[in-house]
Structure 1
């Protein structure tokens, strides 16, 4: 029996505490089936074997606690380690570069759209000096999106984990496309405003003095 199968078999017996612990540990880049377990817990909640509010609370608390621990590990002890690892570990290097280029929006997307690199982004955010309020402001909504997708689909596809997994992938891609469209729209609007301001300044400079 694989680790995933073993953990999934324990969900109906140990429910929220097990789920919260696995999600917490997954925030440290450990190869644990957090998404699958969240969908399984949603399915067991749908048939009444688990309490949906308790499952939701455990998932959110485990995710927030894990992300915060990794952020503060980077904040208070990771600057030198990050400089060392950034030369050797591609995920941390990419996370650092994307945080510098895109900032908050990349942090938000790393919670659910690019979740495999989420732990590296958390560490890079702390080590790079990203402020804690900004980390929370952008990270928490992304965490809620991740929990909502997998728990909601597990609840809706109770007993059909494979179908729920396929639906989760489709949902993530659809939401990702929507987020990308909104971001591109914002970029275009800002570029248009800059062009208008530049054109207005040029006209004012070209106008003859009175």
Structure 2
């Protein structure tokens, strides 16, 4: 039990414990990071697992020589693509009835928000959601529920995973070991997330406003 608690603590605070894990388990760290990304993106029950910070910290440790940056990047890319694929498949099997039942272990608020997000942005959601915690976990599931075509989903899935891994692992590799970045890592991650979310939220708000104006405009206006 104590070992399980310690492992959970290590997973949830990967930025503090990754160095210890590397020292104790060596190359098993690759499987450890692969599984965290795969589970976070592949199962809607685990949206709380670290994603952005894990990739960034992994890149920072790779810059010190503790890990191979190319191997790390390829494995995390495969984990991100395969996790999303599993999530899509689960969503496609459950189908629209997911909105009709009260699933005990499913965050219905997160599901509803992701569905609205998907309705506004369509396939681009799969790419943009990579940078939005929680939405990242639910987006492929919603795409499967919504019967998005397999080929179209995989196009956005692979593109989103590639951009996500390259930017965050590459950013950690280049800047993760700077003293200022180390000291304020959590704040930097939050700012980065906000930078991704705010434009999306503003775009959705603008669509809602313009749609409302069109509905409220007199029928003869603009003719």
Structure 1 residues 122 and 59: CA distance shift in structure 2, 3 A:
same
* Structure 2 segments unaligned to the other structure (5+ residues): 1-5, 208-222
Question: What does residue 52 of structure 1 align with?
Answer: 69
Between 1-10 and 43-52, the greater mean CA deviation after superposition: 1-10
Tell me the distance in 2 between the aligned counterparts of 1:180 and 1:91.
15
Deviation at 1:137, TM superposition (A): 2.4
Is 1:24 paired with 2:31? no
Gaps of 5+ in 1: 188-201, 203-210
Give the stretch that moved more between structures: 73-82 or 83-92.
83-92
Indicate which of 170, 177, 180 corresponds to 1:152: 170
Decide whether the 8 Å contact of 1:11 with 1:18 is kept in 2.
Answer: no
Partner of 2:133: 115
Distance in 1 between residues matched to 2:92 and 2:161, nearest whole Å: 20
SS in 2 for 1:115: coil
Which of 21, 34, 38 is matched with 1:10 structurally?
21
Aligned-partner Cα distance in 1 for 2:154–2:112:
22
Give the number of aligned pairs.
Answer: 190
Structure 2: distance between partners of 1:38 and 1:11:
15
Structure 1's 41 and 159: CA in aligned 2 closer, same or farther, altered over 3 A? farther
SS of residue matched to 2:100: helix
Match of 2:124 among 105, 119, 123: 105
1: distance between equivalents of 2:189 and 2:199?
15
- Relative to 1, partners in 2 of residues 1:90 and 1:178: Cα closer, same or farther, differing over 3 Å? closer
Q: What secondary structure does 1:130 align onto? A: coil
1:147-171 per-residue CA deviation (whole Å, 9 max, x = no partner) reads 2332123212227544344334334
Shift of 1:180: 7.5
Which of 1 and 2 has greater Rg?
Answer: 1
Alignment RMSD (CA, Å): 3.4
Partner of 2:213 in structure 1?
Answer: none
Give the drift of 1:172.
4.0
